Amino acid sequence: MLRAVCLRGLRQLEHSLADSRRAYALDPGNAGLCNNIGAVLHELGRHDEALPWFEMAIAREGGNVDALNNKAQAEYQLHRLFEAAATYARVMAIDPDNATATLGRAHLDLLGGNFQAGWAGREARWRVSGLTIVYPKFHQPMWLGQTDISGKTILIYADEGMGDAIQFARYVPIVASRGARVILAVHSALQPLLSGVEGVSQCIALCSPQAMPRFDTFCPLLSLPLAFATQLDTIPCQPYLPRPAEGRVRAFDDRLKPHDRLRVGLAWAGNPNHSNDVNRSLPLRMLAGMVDIDATFVSLQKDLRVGDKSILDQTRIIDLTAELSDFSETAALLSCLDLVISVDTSVAHLASAIGCPTWLLLPHTPDYRWLLDRNDSPWYPTLRLFRQTATRDWAQVLDWVRGELVARSASFRPR
C-alpha cells in the first residue's frame, strides 16, 4: 500500500495502480485502498472506472470525506453535475468547512454560469492542501472591492498559472481607475508583456513577500472577478494588452515570408504538471496529419514532450520557438499569424487576448472558464471552441478542425 502511494506521488500511475490492486486482493474491506485505486484511475483519465471504486470506499466507510470528494470530482468529469453537487453536499454535511468540497462546488457553479456563487466559493482555494500553487501570506489586508483604494498602493499578484494571469490582467486598468497605484507581480516570462498594461505603475517578477515593494493592500489576480462582482454579461472585453513592438513583428514576418498562404500557429500541449494534463494535452503526432493542408504552419510549442522533436523535424512546421524568450516575443509572432489552433494553455489566452482568431481544442469536461454547450467564449470575442464529445476522442475533434481549416485555407487571399 505504501509503495503504491509513493509511486503515485512519483507519477508512476500504472505501477501504482498495479500495486494497489494487489493490496486490495489481500484486504478487500479496506476503504483507503478502494479510494486510492479510484484516485489513480481518475488521474489516468479513466473516470468511469474510478467511480465504482469511490463508491466502494464510501460503502465501507460512509464518512470518508476524501472518497466523497474524489467521487464528486469523477462525477464532474463525467458531466454528472447534479450528482456531483449532491456528493459535495454530503461532504459539507459532515465537514461544513471542507475547502476541497467548497472549491469543487465553486467550479461546478462557474462551469454552469453561476458566477455569483462561483467566484465567492473559489476563495476556498487558500485553504486547500496539496495544491501545486503556493499562496503567499501578507500582513496587509486583502482588497475585494468593498473599500476605497484611492491614493493607496495595491499589489496585484498572479496567484495561479500564466494563462490565468493573461486572462485576468484585463481587470488591472479597472483597479487603477479607482485611483490606486498598481504594482503587478507576475511570472518573469510575462513581465515584459504585462508591464505595458494600462494602469500598471510597476511590474515586478513574483518573489517572496519579504522582497515585495511597499504596498497598502493586495488582491490576487484570480480574486478580481469577485471584487468586481463579474457576471456573464459584465466580463470586461475591451483590449487590454499592449501592441507588440513593430520591429519584432516585422522581424518575425520577414522570417515567415511570403504570406501567400494561410498562416496557422499550433500549440498541442500545456504544462505537464497540470492536474488535468492527461485530458487537455495531446501528442504532436495527432496534429501532424493536418499539415498537408495548403497553409503555412508555425509551432508555438515552446517545451516539447518526449517524441515530439523527431516528429516535428519530419514535418514542414516552421519552428521559431528558440526565439521566444518571453511572452512579448510570442505576442509579436502571433501578430503575424492568421489563425492559432491550440489546446487549453497560455498560448491560447495570449492569442485570444491580442485579437488573433483562435481555435481552442477542449476536452469533454473543460476548465470552468469555458462553460458548457457553446462554441464561443464571453472572455474572448475572437475565440472559437472545439469540444470533445462524450467519447473523449481527440480524433473526432481534429477531423472537425481539419474540415474547417480546409475551408478557411481555400478562402484565403494572399497579402
Please give the Cα distance from 267 to 312 (Å, whole number). Answer: 12
Residue 109 has pLDDT above 80, yes or no: yes
**pLDDT the model gives residue 15:** 85
Q: What percent of the chain lies above the pLDDT cut of 70?
A: 99
Q: Per-residue pLDDT averaged across 388-395, rounded?
A: 93
Note whether 66 and 76 are within 8 A (CB).
Answer: no
Residue 70 has pLDDT above 80, yes or no: yes
Helix and strand totals (H; E) in the chain:
19, 11
> Predicted confidence band at 376 (pLDDT cuts at 50, 70, 90)?
very high
3-state class of 218 per DSSP? strand
**pLDDT the model gives residue 136:** 81
* Closest-CA residue to 111 (of 360, 345, 379, 372): 372
Please give the Cα distance from 148 to 281 (Å, whole number). Answer: 43
Please give the Cα distance from 90 to 193 (Å, whole number). Answer: 45
Residue 127 has pLDDT above 70, yes or no: yes
> Predicted confidence band at 181 (pLDDT cuts at 50, 70, 90)?
very high
Please give the Cα distance from 90 to 186 (Å, whole number). Answer: 38
> Predicted confidence band at 199 (pLDDT cuts at 50, 70, 90)?
very high
Q: Per-residue pLDDT averaged across 255-274, rounded?
A: 91
> Predicted confidence band at 270 (pLDDT cuts at 50, 70, 90)?
confident
* Model pLDDT for residues 347-358, shown as the tens digit of each residue: 999 999 999 999
**pLDDT the model gives residue 107:** 97
3-state class of 266 per DSSP? strand
Query: In terms of C-beta density within 10 A (0-12 exposed, 13-18 middle, 19 or more buried), how is residue 406 classed?
Result: middle
Residue 19 has pLDDT above 70, yes or no: yes
* Model pLDDT for residues 208-242, shown as the tens digit of each residue: 888 999 999 999 999 999 999 999 999 999 899 99
Residue 117 has pLDDT above 80, yes or no: yes
Residue 343 has pLDDT above 90, yes or no: yes
Could you give the strand order of the β-sheet that contains 200-205, starting from the edge strand earlier in sequence?
200-205, 181-186, 153-157, 217-220
Select the more confidently predicted residue: 52 or 136. Answer: 52
Select the more confidently predicted residue: 152 or 313. Answer: 152
> Predicted confidence band at 363 (pLDDT cuts at 50, 70, 90)?
very high
**pLDDT the model gives residue 271:** 79
Residue 134 has pLDDT above 70, yes or no: no
Residue 35, Cβ neighbours under 10 Å: how many? Answer: 26
Omega before residue 236 within 30° of 0, cis: no
**pLDDT the model gives residue 5:** 75
* Model pLDDT for residues 77-88, shown as the tens digit of each residue: 999 999 999 999
**pLDDT the model gives residue 185:** 97
For the chain, the C-alpha Rg in angstroms (whole number) is 23
Residue 7 has pLDDT above 80, yes or no: no
Walk me through the domains of the chain, giving residue ranges and CATH numbers: 2-127 (1.25.40.10), 153-234 (3.40.50), 246-410 (3.40.50.2000)
Q: Per-residue pLDDT averaged across 109-115, rounded?
A: 96
- Give the CA distances from residue 162 to residues 169, 213, 226, 269, 347, in Å, rounded to whole numbers and listed in that order: 10, 22, 19, 14, 9
Residue 275 has pLDDT above 90, yes or no: no
Note whether 199 and 139 are within 8 A (CB).
Answer: no
Select the more confidently predicted residue: 211 or 271. Answer: 211
Average pLDDT, the chain: 94
**pLDDT the model gives residue 219:** 97
In sequence order, which ranges of 263-393 are alpha helices (DSSP H)?
A: 277-280, 284-288, 308-313, 327-334, 346-353
Say how far residue 229 (Cα) sits from the centre of its chain.
Answer: 21
Q: Which cell numbers hold the place of 84?
A: 456531483
